[in-house]
Each structure stands twice: as C-alpha cells, then as structure tokens.
Amino acid sequence: GAGVSQSPRYKVTKRGQDVALRCDPISGHVSLYWYRQALGQGPEFLTYFNYEAQQDKSGLPNDRFSAERPEGSISTLTIQRTEQRDSAMYRCASSAMRTAGAQGETQYFGPGTRLLVL
Amino acid sequence: AQTVTQSQPEMSVQEAETVTLSCTYDTSESDYYLFWYKQPPSRQMILVIRQEAYKQQNATENRFSVNFQKAAKSFSLKISDSQLGDAAMYFCAYRSASNNNDMRFGAGTRLTVKP
C-alpha cells in the first residue's frame, strides 16, 4: 500500500483481556516503530525493529507489553491482562534504512489504534 | 537524555498572516535531525519539514520554513500565508543521527486559523 496501515482502528476491551494490535508498514521499509500517544501529548516511544530484530524495547512500560515482527514486515504489539491505564492511541511508524538523501530518514506514521480498556 | 520543549500549548493566527511556533531541545550530541510534524483532527502524523543539524541553511518547504539556531538549540517553524487547512496540532521532534530509535517529541502546539 501507499502508507502505513494499522488495525483495528478502534478496540474496546474489558480489563484483564489480552489485545493484539497490528501494523503493516510501507513496503520496503526496514525500520518499524511503536509509539503510544495520550490525548493532547506527543508520541511516546515504546519499541522498534530493524527487519525482524527488535533493537530496543526500553520504552515498553512493563512485561505485559510485547511486540514482534517475525518476517520483517507486519508487526504485532500485544498487551496482556489489559488495565484501564493502557487506554491510549497506539501508533506505528516505519522508515527506510539510512540511505543517501533525505527521504530515508523520515518516519511515516500510521493512523493509529485507539484502545479503550473498560 | 534529549528533551524537546514546546512552550506554546496553543497559538492562533489570522488567515493569510504569518505565525511562528517555538521549539527548543536539549542534547549533548552534535549530529542529529529535527522535524516538524502536523497532526490534523484525523490524527495522521504528517511530516512538514526536516532539518539536518550539520546544515547551516534553514530548511524551507513552500510556505513552511524553519529558524534553526544550533548554538541556542532552537528550532522554530514559520508558517507564511496561513490557510484554514493549516489548523492542527504541530509537534517538534528530535532524532539522534547515531541512534535510529532515539526520536523524541514535544508536547505539541495547537494552531487555530481564523478566517
């Protein structure tokens, strides 16, 4: 596709349930990022991948959060035993590996998944 | 740690006028990138303009330009001839050149354009 896509766009779940959020990056982009964005705030880094390798997960709030990108393309962010404080917009972004020129250095964001934990 | 500060939670401009959004950052690195993103009500994050720290020339994209002051660690965005479609949240962002994951965003500035 032409841009980053995420699904579902909206997810309502009950506290204690597990949720899986999907990100489909721009074709050919090797870096993929997950962010969490509270209303009225800037995105907060969670984790990122180069190809299938998770490079940094220091931003994940706790061990209930995990992410994978098994084939170096689509990624899934999983939240286990959801809590109300997990409610937020979860955004995915992708970028090309560093190349000569400006375009490879830009992160393109998807529309996000709005998660509501009741 | 790098931090990005946007001191203006809200700004307002008259259509066709010029507005400047402020951004300051803190870093000990010499090589990095700076960005301004626009987030309309649809909540897409659209890249407006980018600046490489090693370039002295200020970046310009049509009606959007930046005033990059490296010594002062300041990176303001100027929007000329403001249009109604410019109304959105604007986020300033910093990214390390050596660490691909180190992207930090400011809290954002909500821009209102009055007809």
Phi-psi region of B98 (alpha: psi -120 to 50; beta: other; left: phi over 0): alpha
B52-104 pLDDT tens trace: 898 889 999 999 999 999 999 999 999 999 999 999 999 999 988 776 566 78
A81-115 pLDDT tens trace: 999 999 999 999 988 764 323 444 677 889 999 99
- B93 interface with A at CB cutoff 8 Å: yes
Which residues in chain B have Cβ-Cβ distances shorter than 8 Å to A102?
A: 50, 52
Confidence of residue A41 (pLDDT cuts 50, 70, 90): confident
B9 prior amide bond cis, ω within 30: no
- B28 interface with A at CB cutoff 8 Å: no
CA angle A34, B36, A87 (to 5 degrees): 35
- pLDDT at residue A101, as a whole number: 30
Q: What is the mean pLDDT of chain B?
A: 90
Structure tokens at B44: 């897409």
**B100 and A55 in contact by Cβ < 8 A?**
yes
- A26 interface with B at CB cutoff 8 Å: no
The average pLDDT across A48-77 equals 91
Instruction: Give the number of A-B residue pairs with CB atoms closer than 8 Å.
Output: 50
